[in-house]
Chains A and B, each alone.
Chain A
Amino acid sequence: MSKKLVVIGAGMASGRMLEHLFDADPAAYDVTLFNAEPRGNYNRLMLSPVLSGEKTYAEIVTHDDDWYAQNDVTCRFGERVVHIDRDRKVVVGEHGELPYDKLVLGMGSTPFMIPLPGHDLDGVIPYRDLEDTERMMGLGAKAGSKAVVIGGGLLGLEAAAGMAAQGVDVTVVHIMGHLMERQLDPAAGYLLRKALVDKGITVMCNANSKEILGEDGKVRALLLDDGTELPCDLLVMAVGIRPATALGEAAGLATGRGIHVDDQMITSDADILALGECVEHKGEVFGLVAPLYDQAKVLAQTLLDQEATFVNKEVSTKLKVTGCDLFSAGDFAEGDDREDIVFRDPARGVYKRLILKENRIIGAVMYGDTADGAWFYGMIKDGTDVSDMRDTLIFGPAYQGGTALDPMAAVAALPDDAEICGCNGVSKGDIVAAIHAGATSLAEIKATTKASASCGSCAGLVEQVLGVTMGDEFVIPQDESICGCCDLSHEDVRRLIKSQELKSQEAVWQELGWKTRNGCATCRPAINYYLLADWPVEYQDDPQSRFVNERKHANIQKDGTFSVVPRMWGGITTPDELRAIADAADKYNVPTVKVTGGQRIDLLGVKGEDLPAIWYDLNQAGMVSGHAYSKGLRTVKTCVGSDHCRFGTQDSTGLGIKLEKLLWGSWTPHKLKLGVSGCPRNCAEATCKDIGVICIDSGYEIHVAGAAGMEIKGTEVLCRVTTEEEAIEIITAMSQIYRENAKYLDRIFKWVDKVGLDWVKEQVVENLDERRALVERFNLSQSIYRKDPWAEHAKPEKAETYRPLADLTLEAAE
């Protein structure tokens, strides 16, 4: 029987340790995992992007239920361990005891709360976990909220920037003379302050907090010792952390600032091991993940009786205060024996400073442009003599030897042991080795080496290493900007429209720094779509930002005439409808009547000014626009199904009609075509559609991401369901998730290729809450957009716009 391993704390460090353990020997231990937080392991480093709205919690989960199940981990989440009884070798949780053979402590640290009067009021919180993050996000939901952050270090500033992005009025109170004084010198601190002030954050340095004022047990304001009162609804204290030692101390383990461990991560009790922020190793305690990952590896090996030794390496900090580029490494205090090399570019807001001692770099601080950080850091570690390159040193590696400034050259110049991923300690050599072993993309590098898997800030560098190593075989993906009007990619713009709640074109132009007054023919249709998809209620669709087909609700033909395609729900029509179509074709001299590939009838060659009248006639016969011109729902193609066909397993026509009636009128990033076949013979060709359904004996198989245009691609199966209702719900959620996330003009297959089918499955199939929420948002949008544009444009005031403004043929002929 395997031995019992109990782990206290499902954190960054213990999570990594478990990965190593299961990789090496999945059967060695029966693992039970306690976590005080009511959830498993997530990437704590990514809480700030969650706070600012750039990411969702689901995206930062590192180990999900499946992972724990696959590895047979017994999870006791939401349960704090209150006592360790070393004599009996049991841990005591809030809900009961559990014996162990080996125990691992990974409790992390406890945020330090300054014991100011009022620190225990409701609304005074630290910044450590998801609950804190959600508290801050909740504030953003209420207009006019105010927050005070005590502490101008990394965490405090991330909290401040995140809340400011949510529209909260934030003041940072910092006791020192400049921000992040431990990582930055005053000049970089100044630039950082300026960037934060530009984001609307108030920054008070040299400010001493005196008392937290409350009302009915809730925080009301912060009082400074000069008498200033800063009103707030929430007060975030981010002044430092203390290793969580209480549990170990009470059990009698040797403890200093943290729980003492040796080079094998063993505490003073041979059966108890510890790692992460709760430990002290050779007098050092920890606050960044990089060394913790090394500890995780060593601890896993120790558990398997393999020999391993933990060595604490010096770390550089690539800091990621939302939207500001910072880098600091080594020692940057001033001194007589030191020299500075400083470079400033005020126009770009760039500041770089190298600190030299005896011709060697001992420290580096950079703001605004941190691309060369890894190179400088390498030289600090190696103690490289820089006498030969002093004059050009500050311009980085690309400049050495007179070559042009080129980021690829800079990466090529890095030695193999240069660190690329600081979080996971992955060197350039490791990445190159992974490439030689067959990795060809960022995702594969991430999977094999973990580079860029934690905070993600090195992803660009990893891609450059791929580029340098693979040459032409690797094309560095560019987040291409939408057009010349702005520097942002579609993905960035979509994210910012949501997170900054931009609800009008003007807001987008202004807040995202558009270089043109009102966009161009490339960006405006995309922005118009993003706005109406994300803010269906608040934003008014702008016809002047649409291509002619969508503005005129008809397809323009090459001779300037239009085509008119009325809807035939699920491809079903009636004699009356056919008569009305025939009458309209006669009345308006329609030259061509064609049966389309989408199972309906196209009247081609209609003059622009006749459109409102022909629509009016078709409306009278009960027909509405088929949106054959739109980036929106086109058709739902069906076969006859169980109504008529001897093979049919379900009512495919009926389902098609229901789907079309539900989805019509919705705008999507690109056209959306569906098909429903009554059995796997697939007469409706559903398996090359954006969304397809194949009816089977046991229910419905839902397919997505097919293509039958310039590119041909069969669909992939999203899921199987038993009832028609569930099929409809999933298809609705699928449409909505595509509407909310895809880049304008990406069909579903292109978009799914980017985000991965697994993610889509998780959101629309597995996660019921998310599915329902998607359906709800879709329905909200449809309450506005599910209407017939023809009916509206056939009305006299709109119809007028289809005719000439004036006819001068008579007058001018006089």
Chain B
Amino acid sequence: MSWIDIGAIDRIPDRGARVVRTPRGDIAVFRTGTAEVFATDDRLGDSYGPLSDGIVSDRSVNCPITNVIFDLETGQSSEGSLQTHGCRIENGRVLLDDSKLTAAA
């Protein structure tokens, strides 16, 4: 695996998210109120997402279409689990773990 630099942290709004386009599909990269970063798939099946358009509070996001709440750390919700991706900040840059980013079979 390797860490890919996807941009400066201040390009993600406080308590917000941005999308990263990958062969796997869109990934949502979240920034919380305490400036932690998390990454998950932007959608779960056809019904949930884009989560990058949800409201981020503490370490969770709500689905803008269904209001289901997803835990950003584990990807879990009452309706199923999102794939999460490694994500961290280094020197003000956001790094994304690419190990699960290859196109889904």
Contact = CB atoms under 8 A, between A and B. Distances in A.
A544 B7 contact: no
A548 B11 CA distance: 18
Contacts of A800: 11
Contacts of A311: none
Q: Nearest 3 pairs between A and B by C-beta?
A: A805-B18, A521-B62, A548-B53
Contacts of B53: 548, 551-552, 556
A547 B63 CA distance: 10
Interface in B16-53: 16, 18-23, 26, 29, 33-34, 43, 49-50, 53
B49 A518 contact: no
Interface residues of A, number: 31
Contact of A812 (B16, B43, B57, B101): B101
A808 B20 contact: yes
A543 B12 CA distance: 13
B56 A805 contact: no
Interface residues of B, number: 38
A806 B58 contact: no
Given A805-B19, A805-B20, A521 B14 contact: no
Contacts of A809: 21-23
A805 B7 CA distance: 7
Contacts of A518: 15, 33, 57-58
B8 to A, nearest CB: 9
A95 interface: no
Given A543-B13, A809-B22, A521 B67 contact: yes
B65 A558 contact: yes
A812 B102 contact: yes
A543 B13 CA distance: 9
A659 B57 CA distance: 37
A560 interface: yes
A517 B58 contact: yes
Nearest to B29: A805
A543 B16 CA distance: 9
Given A812-B101, A813-B23, A516 B58 contact: yes
A805 B21 CA distance: 8
B101 to A, nearest CB: 5
A804 B57 contact: no
A807 interface: yes
A804 B98 contact: no
A801 B43 CA distance: 19
5 contacts: A804-B26, A805-B7, A806-B7, A809-B21, A812-B22
A413 to B, nearest CB: 42
Contacts of B43: 560
B20 to A, nearest CB: 5
A520 interface: yes
A430 B16 CA distance: 57
Nearest to B20: A806
A812 B98 contact: yes
A553 interface: no
B69 A804 contact: no
A805 B12 CA distance: 8
B22 A808 contact: yes
Contacts of A407: none
Contacts of A543: 13, 16
A520 B22 contact: no
A653 interface: no
Identify the interface centre among A521, A545, A551, A811: most chain B CB within 10 Å of its CB.
A521
A556 to B, nearest CB: 6
A810 B65 CA distance: 30
A174 B104 CA distance: 76
